[in-house]
């Protein structure tokens, strides 16, 4: 049942909520996590003052408040990855998959370039060690 609720919430986040930055992502997250007495829970979870917690809930968190969350034992990297995924409307899995595809594409390009240089070097007289120096522009 919990998975169904989480999936429903993910599907029903408003487009407006997704289109804003970190502060809105944080406000959305805390409102979903604690729909009742949100300010009190935020205050307790991350050791914030009532004013700081209120600003978190209403998407006005300051840079200092965000820094506190980044360095808090129940905040940190995991919280910010979740917020960034929410703010970018993507998942960490999708991001990792995209980066892996990009790296594989770059590797294939480098291999093709290396084959090209090898074929050019094979055409030169001698051992061809100076092939790149002869063809590449100087910097």
Q: How many residues does the chain have?
A: 139
pTM (predicted TM-score)? 0.58
- State pLDDT tens for residues 8-57: 455 555 554 555 688 898 999 999 999 999 999 999 999 999 999 999 99
Q: DSSP 3-state helix, strand, coil percentages of the chain (rounded to 5)?
A: 75, 0, 25
Distance of CA 20 to CAs 16, 44, 88, 115, Å?
7, 26, 9, 46
Among 42, 34, 41, 90, smallest CA distance to 66 is for: 42
SS3 63: helix
Domain range summary for the chain, segments of one domain joined by +: 2-89, 93-135
For residue 52, what pLDDT is reported? 94
The Cα 3–Cα 10 span in angstroms is: 10
């Amino acid at each position: 049942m919990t998975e169904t609720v989480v999936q429903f919430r993910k599907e029903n986040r408003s487009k407006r909520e997704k289109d804003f930055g970190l502060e809105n992502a944080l406000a959305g997250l805390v409102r979903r996590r604690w729909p009742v007495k949100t300010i009190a829970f935020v205050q307790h979870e991350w050791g914030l003052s009532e004013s700081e917690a209120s600003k978190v809930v209403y998407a006005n968190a300051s840079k200092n408040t965000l820094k506190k969350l980044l360095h808090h034992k129940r905040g940190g990297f995991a919280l910010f990855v979740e917020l960034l995924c929410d703010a970018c409307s993507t998942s960490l899995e999708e991001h990792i998959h995209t980066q892996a595809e990009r790296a594989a594409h770059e590797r294939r390009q480098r291999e093709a370039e290396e084959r090209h240089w090898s074929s050019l070097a094979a055409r030169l007289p001698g051992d061809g060690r100076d092939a790149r120096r002869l063809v590449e522009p100087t910097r």
